[in-house]
Amino acid sequence: MAAKKVGVLIKEARTNADMTQEQLARKISGLSASDISLAERGQKDLTQAQLKQIAKITGVTQASLINAAKETSSSKTQKKTETKKKETKKTETKKTSTSSGKTSMQLTATEKKIITLYREADAETKKQVLKVLKGEDDDSESVLEDILETVVSMLGDKKS
């Protein structure tokens, strides 16, 4: 988000200075018009020296660009931390509230596949599956074996 903020500020400064990306790039050593484009879209981080040059050339304050860039760095660190937390909880199911007040869940690939298979099943199969999951089926052991064989077979087909 903050990288886009820097990009928006760069683009605003450049357009207010009535310059093209190419014109701005020519005045900054080590940057191409493509680099300016990427930076404006928040896809490339520029050095403080480059931001200072852009500020000087376009007539904006250096602080506005550099402070926005610093926000980018701290948000990247925060995102890395969040990513690590997500990876450690990868197998856990996470419940979240949506804006409509409903609860949504993140599912593993296996859970998604099971739901897909359940949705495709006929009514009788769905009843049997629910009985097995609730432990109400006397023959649940053989049904579970059948389910496991099917899942293993499907997983084997995907690897091929």
Query: Binning pLDDT at 50, 70 and 90, where does residue 26 land?
Result: very high
pLDDT tens digits, one per residue of 117-151: 888 888 888 888 787 777 776 665 666 677 777 77
CA pair distance 63, 124, nearest whole angstrom:
68
* Domain 2-84, CATH: 1.10.260.40
CA pair distance 25, 9, nearest whole angstrom:
16
The pTM for the full model equals 0.43
Q: What is the pLDDT of residue 124?
A: 83
Burial of 160 (0-12, 13-18, 19+ CB in 10 A): exposed
pLDDT at 50 over 80: yes
Summarize the confidence of residues 96-102 as an average pLDDT. Answer: 54
CB 7 within 8 A of CB 39: yes
Angle of helix 123-134 relative to helix 140-159, nearest 10 degrees, comes to 110
Q: What is the pLDDT of residue 93?
A: 46
Residue showing tokens 């869940």: 105
Judged by average pLDDT, the poorest of 30-39, 94-103, 107-116, 126-135 is: 94-103
Question: CA-CA distances (angstroms) from residue 136 to 29, 130, 143?
Answer: 73, 8, 12
Domain ranges of the chain: 2-84, 105-159
Summarize the confidence of residues 153-157 as an average pLDDT. Answer: 70
> Per-residue b/e over 113-128, b at no fewer than 16 CB within 10 Å?
eeeeeeeeeeeeeeeb
CA pair distance 7, 45, nearest whole angstrom:
9
CA pair distance 120, 126, nearest whole angstrom:
9
